[in-house]
Structure 1
């Protein structure tokens, strides 16, 4: 009974993570946003792990957690890469559907998990709902193609993350999540170094992405607040990157708890409803307007969640 609540909680937290991470990636190098987020995630995951009992933790559980972190690293880098180029309407639904579909197929085919008829109906409703809620009208030309590629790779990473965490035993507590955050940092640090050596440092990329006058305004505003830009990004973006990683770690902890009470297919699909949250936050925080497609998607997402939780 509580499994679907944990899964929906994971979706809410992931939605918040994507929203603030997307804001941060508009003013900083996407690899740096992912790296700083995962560093913050290590602290959150470790704190939660110390509070949750782990009576039968073994090396295999940590191994599955570490593998999930490799998926996280790939997923976050390509997700933020797509968001930083402004192709959110393609990247978000593509990554969500890919990250949801592969674990469902793996659970049914490889693990012989059989969702109920109502759950299958919920899955069938959830897929188009996710696409519609992201208002997925593809940008023309290379932007649409780049967004689709980034979304597919991000979705593969998310699928590996979900499938790997689901293999950890219930007695492992939250330590697999911590192992995943550590392995993600271990991958993202050399990735950031490679980007720096190629001359694509956060600061230099920022200058290429934005007019000089805008960058100067950011730096001037930071000096007036008494806080200089850190790592080539304004303090607000730095905070957003850390918040993104912290909420993502909490989302994975909630997802892991969900897999202890629900089959993988149900836990994954409910957790994958997270694109609804950035849309709702865009309405309330950024005062954006819903398109007709997004309205239909939101209306479809609610019954999908009910069917999956039944």
Structure 2
């Protein structure tokens, strides 16, 4: 059950990131991030209440990076950074001892994540690789990865008796961390800084999906090693590629195909270990 919950977390996160990235190009990224966290807060409050600082930091810089750079740079950098920190901390600080197949799965997952999402942002309407803002977007992605890693580590420390309250508390802290930045966020190419009313439900929905992803991850981390749960949950960049191929009829590049094969191999190794 633990691996299935971690993979469910990856699927939900992947969908939420695609939707959030697209919304961040049509409205202010801070407003999209805030609406998403509030949407997640509503969902988790209805379900049941401290990774909030990590969540707010990670999502704020992730959406800012997506708003001014390419998905093919921002997504893999943030994913790999977000994976590396908790895995290392799990082994060094928490005493995790993954099996040999699990270690091999970790080793396969890192390059697979990079390959599967390297070309995800090409042809996205002016956000081509190496374009304006690409360097700043990479820095944003690195900071986002640290925030995501902190989020994963913090949630893994929540005991079973805490229920869903750690996720709820995280939504509150994340929203409060983002709120002061709304007035300082730059305008989009369309002149938007805030979030148009018609996009509020969609932004809130992305936050709801991300909150569900965190709930699945938190439950998975209680049932298996943190290092394994983090790697499985971090395979979410494969979801945008799969959606692009199956739903949008996008062409699958050889690097992405190799990355997807690596993701599949990593899943087998991690769940077997």
Normalised by the size of structure 1, how large is the TM-score? 0.81
**Residues 1:238 and 2:200 aligned together:** yes
1:40 is aligned to 39
Secondary structure (helix, strand or coil) at the match of 2:223 reads coil
1:166 is aligned to 156
Of residues 53, 69, 80 in structure 1, which corresponds to 2:52?
A: 69
C-alpha deviations, 1:251-279, integer Å up to 9, x for none? Answer: 00000100110111000000000000111
Q: CA deviation at 1:142?
A: 5.3
Secondary structure (helix, strand or coil) at the match of 2:207 reads helix
* Structure 1 residues without counterparts, runs of 5 or longer: 50-61, 216-229
Secondary structure (helix, strand or coil) at the match of 2:236 reads coil
**Residues 1:92 and 2:49 aligned together:** no
1:295 is aligned to 257
Query: What is the CA–CA distance in structure 1 between the aligned matches of 2:234 and 2:201, rounded to whole Å?
Result: 25
Q: CA deviation at 1:44?
A: 0.8
2:125 is aligned to none
Matches within 5 A, 1:181-200: 181-193=171-183, 195=184, 200=186
Q: CA deviation at 1:285?
A: 3.4
Secondary structure (helix, strand or coil) at the match of 1:260 reads helix
Instruction: Decide whether aligned partners of structure 1 residues 189 and 128 sit closer, same or farther in structure 2, where only a CA change above 3 A counts.
Output: same
* Structure 2 residues without counterparts, runs of 5 or longer: 123-127
Secondary structure (helix, strand or coil) at the match of 2:130 reads coil
Q: CA deviation at 1:234?
A: 6.2
C-alpha deviations, 1:172-226, integer Å up to 9, x for none? Answer: 1111000000111111111214x17xxx4xxxx13xx13x8xx9xxxxxxxxxxx
Query: What is the CA–CA distance in structure 2 between the aligned matches of 1:232 and 1:34, rounded to whole Å?
Result: 10
Q: CA deviation at 1:45?
A: 1.0
Of residues 91, 95, 99 in structure 2, which corresponds to 1:112?
A: 95
Matches within 5 A, 1:246-257: 246-257=208-219
Normalised by the size of structure 2, how large is the TM-score? 0.92
C-alpha deviations, 1:59-92, integer Å up to 9, x for none? Answer: xxx7xx2xx1111111111111111114111110
**Residues 1:151 and 2:114 aligned together:** no
Q: CA deviation at 1:231?
A: 4.6
Instruction: Decide whether aligned partners of structure 1 residues 105 and 47 sit closer, same or farther in structure 2, where only a CA change above 3 A counts.
Output: same
C-alpha deviations, 1:106-165, integer Å up to 9, x for none? Answer: 010111111000000000110010000002599226533222201100000000100000
Query: What is the CA–CA distance in structure 2 between the aligned matches of 1:177 and 1:124, rounded to whole Å?
Result: 29
Secondary structure (helix, strand or coil) at the match of 1:115 reads coil
May I ask how many residue pairs the two structures share in their alignment?
Answer: 265
Matches within 5 A, 1:278-289: 278-289=240-251
Q: CA deviation at 1:284?
A: 3.1
